Amino acid sequence: MKRAEIHSKRALGEYEDAVPKVNAKEDRHFVTALARGLQVLQCFASGEERLGNQELAERCGLPKSTVTRLTYTLTKLGFLHHVAESGRYRLGMATLTLGGTTLSRLDAKEVSRPLMQQLANDTGCLIALGMRDGMSMLYVETCRSDSIVTIRLNIGSRIPLATTAMGRAYLAGAKPGARRGLEERIRTLDLAGWPRIEPGIRQAVSEIDQYGCCSSFGDWRGEVNAIASPLRVGKGMPLMVLSAAGPRSMAPEVFMQDIRPKLLDTVRAIELHFRNPA
């Protein structure tokens, strides 16, 4: 049996074990269409970040035509995101309102927002709270000051993992084994660019040790400078990152000397709340 087939069968078994068995015919209140839509979303619980309609159909035990309609609807509603290059799907932004990793359940957004807004007011930066989604960082909260900030990124924006301050902070803050796995995927996805990308990741790990944050000064976009620091809100919770970004006119020295201490103070304040909740 091929390795890919073994992996697929193992993942299917894990999925089947996790989904409760319901006999819809015995319950007239049971909404089958809703159950099937949720069943599709549950297929992503085994850890794959990209699944196609055929794989989803096999896991759900439904006709592919039915699954195709379900994934279309879930994509329209934002619960799935269609990856055009591969024709597969990944979980979308709307799923952040559901399940065990929902930010409202973690209370991270509610706790972080006033502190982030104060940081934005004090620095004039775009302040963002993000978490990894596949090979991108996903903005789940943003705050701006009244000053003119030209960076047009908002909640739901996705930025690269390897070249942004937020992505580098995630990599530097991740456990070594997880980081190596992500680095290998980054290398595989961009073999030609890896010699240019790798030094930035190595520098990020060094910067975390030395400064408590990572930087990206024009590495992602020439007009954007940013720093970011990992944010840990509790054992078993996903690693998040807090970043401060501004236009190129805000020099690296300003970020490292003036903004960095304020960013790190904000990170510590958020983490302290989760260590000592009221």
- Total Cβ atoms within 10 A of residue 186: 21
Taking 80 as the threshold, does the pLDDT of residue 32 lie above it? yes
Taking 90 as the threshold, does the pLDDT of residue 18 lie above it? no
Question: In this structure, which amino acid lies at residue 96?
Answer: L
pLDDT tens-digit readout, 142-195: 998 877 666 777 887 889 999 999 999 999 999 999 999 999 999 999 999 999
DSSP secondary structure code for residue 164 in this structure:
S
CATH tag, 3-95: 1.10.10.10
125: Cβ contacts below 8 Å, ≥ 6 apart? 119, 145, 149, 244, 245, 246, 250, 259
Unique residue bearing structure tokens 């399940």: 99
- Give the pLDDT of residue 1: 41
Unique residue bearing structure tokens 């709340």: 273
d(CA 78, CA 69): 14
With contact defined as beta carbons under 8 Å apart, do 224 and 88 qualify? no
Taking 80 as the threshold, does the pLDDT of residue 102 lie above it? no
Taking 70 as the threshold, does the pLDDT of residue 23 lie above it? no
- Give the pLDDT of residue 96: 58
- Give the pLDDT of residue 268: 95
- Give the pLDDT of residue 263: 98
Three-state SS for 121? Answer: helix
Q: Which residue has the higher pLDDT, 264 or 5?
A: 264
- Give the pLDDT of residue 49: 62
DSSP 201-235: HHHHHHHHHHHSSEEEESSS-TTEEEEEEEE--ST
108: Cβ contacts below 8 Å, ≥ 6 apart? 129, 140, 233, 240, 270
DSSP secondary structure code for residue 141 in this structure:
E
Where are the CATH 3.30.450.40 domain residues in the chain? 103-275
Taking 60 as the threshold, does the pLDDT of residue 86 lie above it? yes
Three-state SS for 242? Answer: strand
Q: Which residue has the higher pLDDT, 204 or 235?
A: 204
d(CA 254, CA 153): 21
Where are the CATH 1.10.10.10 domain residues in the chain? 3-95
Three-state SS for 137? Answer: strand
Chain centroid to CA 223? 23
Q: Which residue has the higher pLDDT, 25 or 219?
A: 219
With contact defined as beta carbons under 8 Å apart, do 248 and 223 qualify? yes
d(CA 180, CA 175): 9
Query: What is the percentage of the chain residues whose pLDDT exceeds 90?
Result: 51
Question: In this structure, which amino acid lies at residue 23?
Answer: N
Taking 90 as the threshold, does the pLDDT of residue 81 lie above it? no
Instruction: Give 2's pLDDT tier (boundaries 50, 70, 90).
Output: very low
CATH tag, 103-275: 3.30.450.40
Measured in degrees and rounded to the nearest 5, phi and psi for residue 224 equal: -120, 130
| 133 token code pair | 């989604």
